Amino acid sequence: MAFKLNVNGKSLSADVDGDTPLLWVLRDSLGILGPKYGCGIGQCGACTVHVDGTPVRSCSVPVESVGAGKVVTIEGIGADPVGKKVQAAWSALDVAQCGYCQPGQIMSATALLKGKAKPSDEDIDAAMSGNICRCATYTRIRAAIKQASGQKAGA
């Protein structure tokens, strides 16, 4: 059946079964390729998007449960001033190695900073430990979140 979705401020529709995960509706039906498939069971965070500002693992969210929720993906997060700062910090510190997990990392980091402007190391660990980086860029992810929040690295 047809589902109407609000993605990055646009109204889009997709004709899929209601149990189709949001990730695959975004990727295969709508051509929004930033959210990535990594595990399919909500373990790696590569598919992280925001629904009404909350980070969710889109591989494990059936499209029928999204309803009128506002979906924001990595493609749209730059329109948010916090998201833009996070992307800038990621660029300035050249966080990525392969880069595959980084859309999900940036979405989780943005949600963290929107909830807490100056997170501690413990806050960062708690908010980011749902996102695996197989290349293990973790020291830079920490530093970039500190930089985006205007804190010194290691502070």
Partner 1 sequence: MADGTFLPSASRRDVLRTGMAAGGGLLLGFAVAGKGAAQAASAKLNTYVSIAPDGAVSIMAKNPEIGQGIKTSLPMIIAEELDVDWTQVKSVQAPSDPALYGRQFAGGSAATPLHWDELRRVGAAGRAMLVAAAAQGWGVPASECTTASGVVHHKASGRKATYGSLAVKAATLPTPDLKTLTLKDPKDYKIIGRSIAQVDTPSIVTGKPLFGIDVVVPGMLFATFEKARVFGAKVASANLEAAKAVKGVRHAFVVEGGTALDGLLPGVAVVADSWWAARKGRDRLDIKWAAHPTSGQSSAGFAAKAVELSKGAPLRTERNDGDIDGALKGAVKTVEAAYAYPFISHANLEPQNCTAQVKDGKVEIWAPTQNPQPGRELVAKALGVTNDDVHIHMIRCGGGFGRRLNNDYMVEAAFIAKQVGAPVKLLWTREDDMRHDFYRPAGWHFLQGGVDAKGDIVGWKNHFVSLGENGQFARSAGMAAHEFPARFVPNYRYDLSLMPCGVPTGPLRAPGSNAIAFVVQSFIDELAHAAGADPVAFRLKLLGDKGMVGTLGRDAYDAGRMAGVLKLVAEKSGWGRKLPAGSGLGVAFHFSHLGYFAEVVEVKVAGDGAVELVKVWVGVDVGRQIINPFGALNQIEGSVLDGLSGAMTQQIVIENGAAVQANFNDYPLMRIDAAPPIETHFIKSDNSPTGLGEPAMPPVIPALCNAIFAATGKRIRQLPIDTGLLKSV
Report if residue 101 touches partner 1, rule: CB under 8 A.
yes
Tell me the two tokens of residue 120: 């501690």
Examine residue 134 and tell whether it contacts partner 1 (CB under 8 A).
yes
Q: Least separation, in Å, of the C-beta of 69 and partner 1?
A: 19
Tokens of 73: 């993906």
Place of tokens 């493609």: 75
Residues within window 52-91 making contact with partner 1, judged by CB under 8 A: 73-75, 78, 87, 90-91
Q: Are 71 and 14 in contact (CB under 8 A)?
A: no
Q: Contact, 69 vs 31, CB < 8 A?
A: no
Beta bridge partners of 12: 5
Residue 142 is a binding residue for partner 1 (CB under 8 A): yes
Interface residues toward partner 1, by CB under 8 A: 16-17, 20-21, 24, 27-29, 31, 33-41, 43-44, 46, 73-75, 78, 87, 90-92, 94, 96-103, 106, 124-126, 128-142, 154
